[in-house]
Amino acid sequence: MGITGYKIDKIEGKVEKRDIENVDVKEGFSIGDVKKKNAQMLEVSWTFNTDYKNIGKLALEGTLTYFTDNLADKVEEKEIKGKKGLVLKGDALREVSNFVLRRGIIESIILAKTLQLPAPIQLPSVKIKSEK
């Protein structure tokens, strides 16, 4: 089935400098706790970070709801840092990762505009060649 909902619980943004000519942007995300809500639903916490080297940072934290007919195919129980927990696997891991990456980029573009930072990804542009 897939992701049926998401929410952003925390947004942080910081601008340190604005007079930089070259901008180096790095993005990353992580998947946190995976909790079973019921026999068919998981709640997954996530973070998405955008680092504008020497300029500023953006950070998002949230949760999403993952729905499936068969949870056994989507998660497994593992020991993480001495504590048992659920871990996404297979298609569920791919779907959640892609969702967090895409949603994080979209939200970061909006936040970057608000903070007057460059877009965190290279946006398409038109180039016109002179006729010769």
Single-letter residue type at 31: I
CATH topology of domain 2-114: Bacterial Protein-export protein SecB (3.10.420)
pLDDT of 37 over the 90 cut: no
Q: How confident is the model at residue 6, as a pLDDT?
A: 92
Residues with Cβ within 8 Å of residue 19, at least 6 apart in sequence? none
Single-letter residue type at 126: V
- Which of 10-24, 39-53, 73-87, 110-124 has the lowest average pLDDT? 73-87
Taking only the tens place, the pLDDT of each residue in 43-99 is 999 999 999 988 999 999 999 999 988 878 888 888 777 788 888 888 889 999 999
pLDDT of 1 over the 70 cut: no
CA 31 to chain centre: 9
The rounded distance, in Å, linking the Cα atoms of 122 and 118 is: 9
- Residue spans of the domains in the chain: they are 2-114
CB atoms inside a 10 Å sphere around CB 100:
22
CA distances from 75 to 29, 68, 80 (A): 19, 11, 14
